[in-house]
Structures are given as structure tokens and as C-alpha cells.
């Protein structure tokens, strides 16, 4: 069990020790980002702008223009919302070498409610040109995505969770940008999962269901996703995100282009709704994006009832 943030910071530290030219800009989010090991080793390479996300993104863009590879690290609900214009213009439109970590995405802030729940970051990120978008599901994916982001020149958004989760991959696993990762092979039904929600799908204990993690949302190997869809009669998307604009939209667009008529069920937060204050566990249960919700969905499907 490992926190994805620990994996990312360890990767940044290793890269800087190996000679990378990195900077990290945070917005009063030193504890949220778990940046301490990197900051202790390289204090001159961490900039804390305080609770000023727009400044954070602007400063990161300026540092990147000076030749550094820059990571921002702050709470996801305040990155693409509060600093939307700076992300669009200073980073994406100008194709600037900034990598943005959206921390505590989804329901991570639980009882703090809708103002702190990050339900639409993927929907926003997908509309920006030049931006690559990732959502790792375990520490191995988080490390691999971070290494890729360091090597890739251009804007990157990484949706991050704050839970400790089990590793899905062995030591010999290799990350390929865009590749859907099949973590359980089954038949008839395929479940595409956003980020750490894949652990809920696995916990449902449905051995005959194919479960797929999509750590890379853009780039995305559309043909590989299409092949997985074609091999199954029922397609499910499962995300801790609003279903409009997120993973459900990605899979729905591919299904529409394919026109093969598979049944499609989108599990997530319905559009045009605000979430409420509660624990992450209770919120996942409410929106059927936990193990019990997936089991219920498949039980309903077996009776011919499709959402």
C-alpha cells in the first residue's frame, strides 16, 4: 500500500539528484503535496506562493521559460478552476513546459463538500490544446507518469489521489503512454476505470469481468480501447468525476464512432448536480462507484435492466 504522492515526490527527488533541472511551485500546499523530502534536499528549487493559484501557474510558466522543467502541486479543485485562464494561456496555448499535479482529486476532501470536491477537472483539461492528461491508479503508474512528464517537453496534467492503494503492477511492468492497462481479464463485460477507482472495481470480486485502468487519457490509444470494447457486449465506465466530459464521455465518443451497439453504462456523478458533504466512502456508495455499486449494476444488467 502506497500513497501516490509519495511515489511522485520520490521520483522527482531521484530525477533532480540525477541532474534534472526541476522546480516545484506550490500554493500553500507543502503538506498536501508531501513535498518535504524534495524541499529538504533542494530548498532553492521549491517556491511557495501562498494561497494564490493564479500566481502559482504564472510563476511556473516563467520558470519554465527560463529553461527549467516545472511542476506545480496543489489541490485539484483549485487548480483548473481558480487558475483556469493562466493554465489555458500561460501554459497550454503557449505550449510551456509545465507539469501540473492536481492533488486530492475526486471526493478526497469528503466532508468539506462541493467547494472542495474535484468533479470536473478531466472535463476541463480535455478542452485545452497541447495538454497531455493522466490519472494514475497506483504508485507504479504514478512513478511512470512522472518520469514520462519530466522527459516530455510540453504541458502535462496529472490527476492525483490521496489514498494509499495496493500496487497493480509487477516489477517488470512497462508504461506505454496511451495504452489501456488490463488489470483483470474476463469476458462479456469490460469496466474502464478512472484513477484509483479501479481498486473498487477489483474489490467487487467479479472474476468474469475485464477491468481496465486508463492511466493515460490523452494521449490515448483509441484502437486498443476499441479492441477491448469490441470483445465485450457490455461496456461500463466508472469514475469519481461527473460523467459529462470525463471518462464516460471518452468511452461514449469511441462507442459512437464504432457504432457496434454495445450496451453502455456510465457510473459517476450525474451531470447538473452538486455533491454534498460526506465521507468519500459514503459518496462512492451514493453514486454506485464502489464495489457494491458495480456488483449491483451487473446484477441489474443480468436482469435486463441497464442504466
Domains and CATH numbers, the chain: 2-165 (3.40.50.970), 181-302 (3.40.50.920)
State the average pLDDT for the chain.
96
* pLDDT at residue 253, rounded to an integer: 95
Strand partners, 102: 74, 159
217 pLDDT exceeds 90? yes
Residue 163 binned pLDDT confidence (cut-offs 50, 70, 90):
confident
Q: What is the pLDDT of residues 82-141, one digit of tens each?
A: 999 999 999 999 999 999 999 999 999 999 999 999 999 999 999 999 999 999 999 999
pLDDT at residue 307 in the model = 67
Three-class secondary structure assignment of 132-200: EEECCCCHHHHHHHHHHHHHCCCCEEEECCCCEECCCCCCCCCCCCCCCEEEECCCEEEEEECHHHHHH
pLDDT band with cut points at 50, 70 and 90 for residue 188: very high
Q: Is residue 30 packed enough to be buried (19+ CB in 10 Å), middle (13-18) or exposed (0-12)?
A: middle
Averaged pLDDT for residues 238-258? 95
Position 149 scores a pLDDT of: 98
C-alpha cell read off for 237: 465506465
Radius of gyration of the chain (CA): 19
Is residue 158 within 8 Å of residue 12, measured between CB atoms?
no
Determine how β-strand 263-269 pairs with β-strand 232-242.
Answer: parallel
Q: Is the pLDDT of residue 260 over 80?
A: no
Going through the chain in order, the beta strands assigned E by DSSP cover 2-3, 22-26, 46-48, 69-75, 98-103, 132-134, 156-159, 164-165, 181-184, 188-193, 209-213, 216-218, 232-242, 263-269
Please tell me the distance from the alpha carbon of residue 275 to that of residue 270, in angstroms, as a whole number. Answer: 10
pLDDT for res 257: 87
Looking only at Cα atoms, what is the longest distance across the chain?
61
Q: Which residues contact 83 (CB under 8 A, 6 or more apart)?
A: 53, 54, 56, 57
* pLDDT for the residue 172: 85
Any idea which of 157-161, 242-246, 254-258 has the lowest mean pLDDT?
254-258
Amino acid at each position: 500500500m502506497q500513497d501516490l504522492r509519495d511515489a511522485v515526490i520520490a521520483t522527482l527527488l531521484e530525477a533532480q539528484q540525477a541532474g534534472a533541472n526541476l522546480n516545484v511551485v506550490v500554493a500553500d500546499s507543502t503538506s498536501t503535496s508531501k513535498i518535504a523530502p524534495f524541499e529538504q534536499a533542494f530548498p532553492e528549487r521549491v517556491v511557495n506562493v501562498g494561497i494564490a493559484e493564479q500566481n502559482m501557474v504564472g510563476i511556473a510558466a516563467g520558470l519554465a521559460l527560463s529553461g527549467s522543467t516545472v511542476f506545480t502541486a496543489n489541490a485539484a479543485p483549485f487548480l483548473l478552476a481558480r487558475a483556469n485562464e493562466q493554465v489555458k494561456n500561460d501554459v497550454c496555448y503557449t505550449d510551456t513546459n509545465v507539469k501540473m499535479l492536481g492533488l486530492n482529486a475526486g471526493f478526497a476532501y469528503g466532508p468539506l463538500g462541493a467547494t472542495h470536491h474535484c468533479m470536473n477537472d478531466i472535463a476541463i483539461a480535455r478542452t485545452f490544446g497541447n495538454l497531455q492528461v493522466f490519472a494514475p491508479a497506483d504508485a507504479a503508474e504514478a512513478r511512470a507518469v512522472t518520469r514520462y512528464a519530466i522527459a516530455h517537453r510540453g504541458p502535462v496534467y496529472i490527476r492525483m489521489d490521496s489514498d494509499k492503494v495496493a500496487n497493480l503492477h509487477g516489477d517488470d511492468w512497462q508504461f506505454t503512454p496511451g495504452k489501456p492497462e488490463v488489470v483483470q481479464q474476463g469476458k462479456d463485460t469490460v469496466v474502464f476505470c478512472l484513477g484509483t477507482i479501479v481498486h473498487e472495481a477489483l474489490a467487487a470480486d467479479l472474476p468474469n469481468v475485464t477491468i481496465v485502468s486508463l492511466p493515460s487519457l490523452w494521449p490515448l490509444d483509441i484502437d486498443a480501447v476499441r479492441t477491448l470494447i469490441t470483445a465485450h457486449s457490455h461496456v461500463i465506465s466508472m469514475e469519481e468525476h461527473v460523467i459529462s466530459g470525463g471518462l464516460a464521455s471518452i468511452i461514449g465518443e469511441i462507442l459512437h464512432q464504432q457504432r457496434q451497439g454495445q450496451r453502455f453504462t456510465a457510473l459517476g456523478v450525474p451531470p447538473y448536480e452538486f455533491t454534498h458533504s460526506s465521507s468519500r466512502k459514503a459518496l462512492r456508495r451514493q453514486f454506485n462507484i464502489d464495489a457494491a455499486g458495480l456488483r449491483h449494476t451487473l446484477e441489474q444488467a443480468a436482469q435486463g435492466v441497464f442504466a
